[in-house]
Amino acid sequence: MTFTAAQIAMLINGQITGDPDVQVGSFGRIEEAQKGQLAFLANPKYEEYLYSTAASVVIINQSQELKQPVSATLVAVPDAYSAFATLLAKYQEMMRQQLRGIEQPSQIHDTARIGEEVYVGAFTYISEQVSVGAHTKIYPQVFLGRGVQVGSHATIYPGVKIYHDCVIGNNVVIHAGSVIGGDGFGFAPQPDGSYQKVPQIGNVVIEDQVEIGANTTIDRATVGSTIIRKGAKLDNLIQIAHNVEIGSSTVIAAQAGVSGSTKIGARVMVGGQAGIVGHLQIADGSKINAQSGVTKSLKNPNAAVTGSPAFDYTSALRSQAFTRRLPEMEKRLAELEELVKKLSGA
């Protein structure tokens, strides 16, 4: 599949400098792209490659000032990075549209409802009373449990397991190996020291435009729903426990964990390997630094925390600066003690 510079400019509302008829068929990084490839320049650190790249077309910021001649055709836009992301999304959608039909072997229950132009990959199992919306792509070896609802234009990659009664919205992307709706970690301690399992009879609800990374697990609620709100983005290898609620447009990086019944607000940013204990409230716009351990609710919107236990980010920086000075302060204290001894005649 090839595109001309003129077609690319039309897709991203860009302005062309150079040959509008030059064609590209793939993408490349600006420092290593070859003829026939499209690249972009958003970070000034890579500006030197603009003048040496072999790419046929380069997307640049309108604010970019050229210091040398450029051999590539340029497409100038207000934000090169966002424009490149938009172009990749359009390209990916075009590739997705080529996937249609039901591959064999696969198992689809007679009571399942499959929408128009759906793709179902081989070795997929779709249980009774499942509904799948139009234009959704289900890759091989996916399991959809009884009563699962999947919206339209969703993408479910290989090996995803979605347990019974879970609800997946429109334009949701779930990457390979993720498990949606496994039992929450509920066990009641008994007098003899053993643990009795608490049945998990709720479900998971994933709203529209959510993306779930590979090998992430989202547990079903004990009662009610574990909810991932519209537009949230979860990285790979994340654990979301039962009855958690993740707010809209919240982003969580890899290896983070959220314990049961915690409610995270909208537009929250959670760094990698952060841990949040259960039954907390995390205010809208909070920023939780990587490897932080959050043990108390964050009640003030847009606050930033770091450390374990987590506390105010600015205060933490001051504490770190003070800690770095401790060896110097110890040396000065020893010198002062020595001076006092001399002055006291000791």
Q: Which two tokens stand for residue 158?
A: 């290989």
Q: Torsions phi, psi of 60, nearest 5?
A: -130, 165
Is residue 230 exposed (0-12), middle (13-18) or buried (19+ Cβ within 10 Å)? Answer: middle
Task: Decide if 221 contacts 238 (C-beta within 8 A).
Answer: no
| Residue 288 structure tokens | 């939780």
- 115, 152 Cβ separation under 8 angstroms: yes
Catalytic one of 135, 153, 175, 242: 242
242 part of the active site:
yes
In sequence order, the β-bridge partners of residue 120 are 102, 138
What is the number of H-type helices and E-type strands within the chain?
Answer: 4, 40
As to burial, measured by CB atoms within 10 angstroms (0-12 exposed, 13-18 middle, 19+ buried), residue 192 is exposed
The residue to which tokens 């359009």 are assigned: 90
User: For residues 142 and 180, what is the distance between their CA atoms, to the nearest angstrom?
Assistant: 12
Question: Which are the catalytic amino acids?
Answer: 242
